[in-house]
Structure 1
Amino acid sequence: MRHYPHLYIDGRWTEPSEPREVELVDPTREEPFALVALGGATEVDRAVAAARRAFESFSTTSLDERIALIDRIIDVYESRIDEFSELIAREVGIPVANRAQVTGPAEHMRVARDLLRDYSFESRVGGAIVRREPIGVCALISPWNWPVQTGVIKLIYALAAGCTVVAKPSLNSAASGALLAEVLHQAGVPAGVFNLVSGTGRVVGDALSHHPDVDMISFTGSTGAGKQVGAAAAGTVKRVCLELGGKSANIVLPDADLERAARWNVQRCFFNAGQSCHAPSRMLVHESQVEQVVPFLVDEAERYCLGDPLEPSTTMGPVVSAAQFKSIREHIQSGLDDGANLVTGGLERPDGLERGHFVRPTVFTGVTPEMRIAQEEIFGPVLAVLPYRDEDDALRIANDSPYGLGGFVFGRDRERARRVVNGLRAGRVSFNGAATDSHTPMGGYKQSGIGRSMGRFGLEEYLEVKSVYGFDDEAQTLPTLFG
C-alpha cells in the first residue's frame, strides 16, 4: 500500500490539522492501492495565505527568472515520466502504452516557456500604455481523466504569468497530484508559489471557490460541478475559467472517405476508454451511407486489447471507478431500451476479465437525436451513430446540444467542409482528423465552459489588463496592441 500522508503548503510537506485519509482503489484489481491525505478548510486557508504572501515577490520576478524556473520543472518532470506513467495506470486505468498522457505535459511546459520569450506584457493604443499584470492567487481544480496534463496546463501558465497557485487534484488521481508537487519542490519553486491541498470538492473545492483571497479559479470537470463553482465564485466576483462537459459531433459528409472517417472516429472516441470531454461520441452519417460505415466501425472497435494497463500490449484499460462503470452500463442499457441498434460491444464483460471496471467498446446505430445516448455525456467507450438527410439537418442535429466543446468534419470538398465547420457551435473543430496544436486555445461554447486554456489565450486568463495614460513618449517605444 502506497502512502501519501502530506499536503504541500508554503514549500513544506505538512500533515492535515485533523488526520484524514482516503483510499485510492485500483480500477483494474478493484483493490485499494494507496492512502492519500485529505485537507479541509483550515488547510485551504493556510495555503491561500501562503500563496498571497508569495505573490508579492513572485509577481515581480523577471521573465528570465520564470523561464529558468519552467526549464527546471521540465528537467525534473522528464526524469520522472516513467513514475507518472505507472502511477496513473494504477490510479485511473490509463495504459502505460498511452504515452501522450505523460509526454504531453512537458510539451505544454515548453510552449508556455517559449511564449514568455515573445509575449508583450506592455503594448500601446494611441498614446496609452496597456499593461497585462498577474491576476494574483489562483485556485486550480483538475480532473482525473487527464490527471497530469490538465493540472500542468493550468499551473504552468499561472506560473508563467507570475501568479501563485493552490491546486486541488481530483480525489481519484490525488496520488499523481502529490507526485507533481514533488516535481515542483525538487525544481525549486519558491515557497508559497505552489501549494497542493487534496480533498473533496464539497469541502476543499467549495472553500477555494468561496475564498475572498482567491483571485481566480480554473476548474475542469462536469458541467454540473462547474455551475456550482461559478455560483460560489460569484460571491467574491473572482474570475472563473471553466472547461466542462462535451458531446462532440463528427459530421461525415457524403463525399468523405468513409473508411478513414469511421476508423478515425472510433480511435478518437475510444481513446482513454472514452473518458475524454472532446470525444466524438456522436457520429453523423448521411442516411444513405450508414450501412457502408458499420463494418469499419465494428472492425476498428474490436481491435482494442482490453486488459491490465500496466501491460505494454493493452490499448484500453478499465474505466476509472465503480460509479463510472455503473453509469456507462446504464447508458448502454438506455440505448437498448430506446431501440437503438447495437452493432458491437454491449453490457457483457470482455472475455477473460471477470474483475475490474472494464467496458467493451460499444457502437450503436439507428440512434435518434432525442435518445439519452445522443444527448448525455456518457464518458465511456460508447459511440452513437445518427443519420442525417442533408447539410442543414446535420448541423441542426450537431448543434442540438447544451454542449459545445469540440466538433469534427470529414469530407473532400473543402469549400463545403469549411461551411459546415463554420456552422458548428463549438470551441475546437478539426477537419479530416487534423491534429490539434498546443499553441492554440482550448475551451467551449454554451455549457461546455467559460474562458480558454493553452497558448497566448491561456496565458491571458491569468492576467489583468491595466490602461495607463500620460506616458505618451514611453508608449511610442512599445508594440501596438492592434497591429
Structure 2
Amino acid sequence: MTQEIDFNAVLKELGIESVNPGVCTGTKWKSTTGKFMESYSPSDGKLIAGVQQCGIEDYQEVIETAKTAFRSWRMIPAPKRGEIVRQIGLELRKYKEPLGKLVSYEMGKIYQEGLGEVQEMIDICDFAVGQSRQLYGFTMHSERARHRMYDQYHPLGVVGVVSAFNFPVAVWAWNAMIALIAGDVVVWKPSSKVYLCAVAVHKIVANVLKENDVPEGVLSLVAAESKVLGDTMFSDRNIPLVSFTGSTRIGQKVGRLVGERLGRSILELGGNNAIIITPDADMEMALRAVVFGAVGTCGQRCTSTRRIILHESVYEEFKQKLVAIYQKLPIGHALDSKTLVGPLVDKYAVADFCNSLKRVTEEGGKILTGGDVLSGEGYESGCFVKPAIAEVENHFAIVQEETFAPLLYLIKYTDLEEAIQLHNDVPQGLSSAIFSRNILETEKFLSHEGSDCGIANVNIGTSGAEIGGAFGGEKDTGGGRESGSDAWKAYMRRQTNTINYSTELPLAQGIEFNV
C-alpha cells in the first residue's frame, strides 16, 4: 500500500518552486534559454516540480564567470577555503532531513539511504576541512651543491563535475569539496533525472557563499541534458579536469573527448561486483551483506553486488536461504518506513531489467526467484520490480555486462584459485569482497594474485564505501579516484622546484657548457 505523501512542506523548506531556473553561479540564479523539463517521482508517478534547463549560451556565460572567480579564489589560503567548506557542512546538517527526503522521492532510493547520502556530503566536508591543511609536497636532495629541490601542488582551474542519477548529491560533494580546498572552482552538470536535488543543494550552499562573500562562479550549476551540453563540456579547453560518473559506454566517449584536448578526467564507470563466499564464511553475516548489496538502491549503485561466487559445499544451503529472503522483501514507496526496496528510477530502467532477464534464460541461465514488474495499488508508477536471482555461468555475455537493476547471479566454484579467476574474469573492476574466517584465503584475495578491483573488502559487502578511502576502480571502471586518501592530488597540478642559493651555475648530470 502506498502512503499519501504531502511533499509541499519539504519543497518549501528547500526553496523548490514549481518552476526553477537551471543555472546558478553561486548566489545568482539566471533565466535560461534551454527547454523546460518536469521531474516525476518513480515512487508514485506524481509531478514534483520543473526546471528551465541551461542552454549553450547560458553555459558559456557560466564558464566565463567561473574563470574569473578562479583567479581570486586560488589566492585565498587553503585553510580559509577549508573554513568555507566547514560552514557548508554545517548548513547541510540543518537540511539533512528534507534533502534526504527529496533524494529519496526524486530518485527512488529508500529514505534511510537518502539520509545516508546527505550524511556522505557532511562527512566529506569534515574530511576536506582537515585536508585543507595537508596539501603537502616533498623535498628531495639535489645532486648539485647549495641547491634545494621540492615539489608542490597548485590549483588546476575550472573542474567540471558530471554526476549520475543514482547518487544525486553525494558524488558532487565528493568532488566539489575537495576541489574547493584545492583552490579550484566547480561547474556541476547533474543527471537530468534528478535536477531538483541539484537545485536544492545550490539553494542550501548559497547561504554560506553569500555570508562569506565568496566570488560568484566558485560553485556553479548547469542543468542541461547531455545531448545539449555533454560534448561541449567534455571538449571545453576551459575545463582542465572533468569528473564523470556514469556508464562505461559514455565514459569511453568522455575519455576520448577530454583526451583529444589533453585534458584530465576522473572516470567512475560501471561495476560488475562479486562476493566470494568460502566454506569458512560466517554465512548469516554474508547473507545480510549480499542482500543489502544486491537490492539496496534497487540495484542501482555502481558498487551493487552483481555476482555471488559460492563454494560448491555451501552453494545449495546459501541459495535456499537467499531465495527465502528475497521472497519476503518489502517493496514499496521510497518514503514508507517499512520499505526495503524502492522503485527503479524510471520505466527505461525497468525495460533494461526485463531485457536482461530474457537474455539470462536465452543464454542458458535459470531464474530462481523474482523478475516480475509490479502493478496495481501502490505500484502505479510502473517502476517497481521484484529483485531477481539467477543461476548462471560467468562467461555468459549478459553476466559480463552491468545490469543497473536488482539482478543477482549465483556462480559455483570448487577451489579458491578458480573463484578468484571467475571473480576477475569480467571487464569491470570496481568493488569486490570475500567472506571467510580463514586468513590464508583472505590475504590471498587482497594480494597481487587476488582481486583486481580498486576496492577489495573482507567480511563486508561490496556496497557502501566510506569517504576516508579513495573511491574508484580499474579496467572498464575507468581508473579514476575521488573522495578520500590522497585523491586531492587529482584536482591540482604538480610542480617541481629547484632553487640555487650559490654563486655558481652547475648543470645537472655534470654537463660542462662554458660560454
TM range (shorter): over 0.9
What amino acid does structure 1 have at the position aligned with 2:117? Answer: Q
> Does 2:219 match 1:219?
no
The DSSP-based 3-state class of the residue aligned with 2:471 is: coil
Distance 1:313 1:472, change over 3 A: farther
- The range that moved more, 380-389 or 453-462, is 453-462
2:230 to 205, 215, 235: 205
Distance (whole Å) between structure 2 residues aligned to residue 86 and residue 203 of structure 1: 29
Following superposition, the deviation at residue 193 of structure 1 comes to 0.5
Given candidates 460, 480, 505, the residue that maps to 1:433 is 460
Aligned CA distance change for structure 1 residues 303 and 107 (closer, same or farther; 3 Å): farther
Alignment partner for residue 374 of structure 2, among 342, 349, 354? 349
Please name the residue that 1:413 is paired with: 438
Aligned counterpart, 1:467: 496
Cα offset, 1:42, TM superposition: 1.5
Distance 2:468 2:486 in 1: 9
Cα displacement (A) at 1:53: 0.6
Range with bigger deviation, 243-252 or 409-418: 409-418
| 2:478 aligned with 1:449 | yes
Deviations, residues 40-88 of structure 1 (Å, cap 9, x unaligned): 2212211111111111111111123112101111121111112212212
Distance 1:337 1:258 in 2: 31
Q: Does 261-270 or 238-247 show the bigger shift?
A: 261-270
Q: How does 1:83-482 map to 2 (within 5 A)?
A: 83-98=98-113, 99-117=115-133, 119-126=134-141, 127-188=148-209, 189-349=214-374, 352-356=377-381, 357-365=383-391, 367-422=392-447, 423-433=450-460, 436-470=465-499
**Shift in alpha-carbon separation, 1:238–1:161, aligned structure 2, 3 A:** same
Name the CA shift for 1:19/1:467 in 2 (closer, same or farther; >3 Å). Answer: closer
SS at match of 2:402: coil
Provide the TM-score with structure 2 as the length reference: 0.87
Q: CA offsets, 1:341-400, max 9 Å, x none? A: 3222122427854422011121112x1112244211111111100011222211121111
TM-score by length of 1: 0.93
In structure 2, what residue type is equivalent to 1:310? L
From 31, 53, 78, give the equivalent of 1:38.
Answer: 53
Deviation track 1:277-314 (CA, whole Å, cap 9, x = no partner) reads: 11121000112321110122123323421111122222
Moved more, 377-386 or 253-262: 253-262
Distance in 1, matches of 2:351 and 2:74, equals 46
CA distance in 2 between counterparts of 1:216 and 1:120 reads 18
CA contact (8 A) 1:251 1:394 kept: yes
Matches within 5 A, 1:52-71: 52-71=67-86
* Count of aligned pairs: 470
Q: Which 5+ residue runs of structure 2 have no aligned equivalent?
A: 1-16, 142-147, 503-515
In structure 2, the residue matched to 1:476 is none
Q: Distance in 2 between matches of 1:192 and 1:116?
A: 20
Does the 8 Å contact 1:331/1:372 carry over to 2? no
- In the other structure, the counterpart of 2:509 is none
Determine if contact 1:154/1:453 at 8 Å carries over to the other structure: yes
Look up the match of 1:478: none
Matched, 1:8 2:24: yes
Aligned-partner SS, 1:195:
strand
Contact 2:22/2:54 (8 A) holds in 1:
no
Q: What percent of counterpart residues are identical?
A: 26
**Which of 7, 16, 20 is the equivalent residue of 2:35?**
20
Gap change, CA 1:264 and 1:10, over 3 Å in 2: closer
